[in-house]
Copies of this chain bind each other. A is one copy, B any other.
Amino acid sequence: MNSAAGQELTGACIIAQSGGPTSVINASVFGAVRAALDCPQITQVLGAEYGIKGVLNDRLIDFGQEDPKELEYLLNTPSSELGSVRYKLKDPEDDATDYRRILEIFRKYDVRYFFLIGGNDSMDTCNKVSRFMASSGYECRIIGIPKTIDNDLFGTDHCPGYASAAKFIATTCMEIYKDATVYETGMVTVIEIMGRHAGWLTAAASLASMKGCGPDLIFLPERVFSMEYFLRRVKEIYAVKRNVIAAVSEGIHDSEGRFISEYASSSQEKDSFGHTQLGGVAAILADAAKRETGAKVRGIELSLLQRCAAHCASETDVIEAAEAGRRAVLGAVGGVTGKMVAFRRGEGDRYVCHMDLIDLDKVANYEKKFPDEWINGSGDGILPAFYDYALPLIQGDRKIPTEDALPRFARLKKVFVE
């Protein structure tokens, strides 16, 4: 690891975004860009188009040419304004082609700072690039900035992007509850929420239940899902209330590890990381519940909305995301490399979020599951300990700038350097 604490290093920086969109990944870009532009050691602030691909393809925009006011709009612009990519770098021991190309581009623009905003896979990318640069003797400081709605990054109390998604999910579940319980005639509603392996997002539906307007049943991928048990519980609740709402993670699976989404005949596709593309669980469970109860049923996928609903963002999340970007820049300029910005919750009753820089080694490729002790005994509900964890994160309604009563997103010029 290239350790150079205290040593002054002057050159350009590249900021890149990777992995799936969130409501606040651009807030981290803003935090990093703003800090970098203000930093005398950083001679040019570049942004990579489509993540690491933008480096490989020499597609880099110059943030110095953007209107500072437009940059501020990034705070409320969802998804990845620079474009993102799902591209897994090979191990440099197996094939160093990409790394050599990255080094070439770094040399071309005298890039001495690299900031990658992303999740697990991105931290792995950060780690590999960091190690390669160190072994090449090219001095470059690399810091990862966490983001993922999945909240499954290791070593950090929570991840930027999670809170806004959680707030949208909880708010939406409350609204769906109001809608789904409007008729006397009864209904079974199944809400499908993102999360392949970690149930953090689905657990957020329990905040609606806490308010008395939420799911009766919540199933996370951390526990084995039994269709038999699900139908039994639906029948029991339906008999009493004539209305059942269940929230399920897309990634729920049976005792043999088979995804419930695979119960449908449709062929499964895999993304470029080899993850199975999930979806359709809500429809499958709603159909099964219909056969069992004869009730009117509805399957609802929150789909992309849960990760890009910036109009419902958590103010806390936006502020922390921007601050994470800023801390990455300040840390790197201060001499740190091979680290990720991590959030540490302060002790005491009042929520305080401290930011540390932790080894990428400790983060990359580990997944932080939803704590088993926050799931109830029968595996169909979430315990109040989670509320204490989640509520501080969703605080604050973001007053988003609008134009014609619609969100005013950033309009960057995106001038590419040559």
Contact = CB atoms under 8 A, between A and B. Distances in A.
Interface of A: 21, 50, 53, 77-80, 83-86, 167, 170-172, 174-176, 178-184, 207-208, 210-211, 213, 298, 300-305, 307-312, 314, 391, 394-397, 402-407, 409
A305 B180 CA distance: 11
The 8 closest A-B pairs by CB, nearest first: A79-B178, A179-B308, A175-B308, A50-B184, A21-B179, A394-B405, A79-B179, A179-B304
Nearest to A210: B404
A391 B404 contact: yes
Given A178-B79, A183-B84, A403 B304 contact: no
A391 B402 CA distance: 13
Given A396-B405, A406-B171, A304 B314 contact: no
Contacts of A167: 405-406
12 contacts: A77-B178, A78-B175, A79-B179, A79-B182, A80-B182, A85-B184, A167-B406, A174-B409, A175-B311, A180-B304, A302-B305, A397-B405
Nearest to A280: B283
Most B Cβ at <10 Å: residue of A84, A179, A314, A394: A179
A178 B308 contact: yes
A183 B83 CA distance: 6
Contacts of A407: 171, 174-175
B314 A405 contact: yes
B314 A78 contact: no
Nearest to A211: B406
B178 A21 contact: yes
Given A171-B406, A171-B407, A300-B305, 14 more contacts: A21-B178, A50-B183, A83-B184, A84-B182, A84-B183, A167-B405, A170-B406, A178-B409, A210-B404, A211-B406, A211-B409, A302-B305, A305-B305, A397-B405
Nearest to A184: B50
Contacts of A171: 311, 406-407
Contacts of A213: 409
Contacts of A310: 175
A3 to B, nearest CB: 35
Q: State the copy count for this chain.
A: 2
A403 B211 contact: yes
Given A184-B85, A211-B404, A300 B298 contact: no
Contacts of A406: 167, 170-171, 174, 207-208, 211, 394
Contact of A402 (B21, B85, B397): B397
Contacts of A312: 311-312
A323 to B, nearest CB: 19
Contacts of A183: 50, 83-86
Contacts of A50: 183-184
Contacts of A178: 21, 77-79, 308, 409
Nearest to A170: B406
Contacts of A80: 182
Contacts of A404: 207, 210-211, 391
Contacts of A298: 303-304
A53 B85 contact: no
A29 B388 CA distance: 35
Contacts of A309: 172, 175
Contacts of A308: 175-176, 178-179
A256 B207 CA distance: 47
A406 B214 CA distance: 12
A221 B210 CA distance: 40
B182 A21 contact: yes
Nearest to A80: B182
Residue among A84, A184, A300 with the highest chain B CB neighbour number at 10 A: A184
A86, A303, A308, A397: most-surrounded residue (chain B CB, <10 A): A303
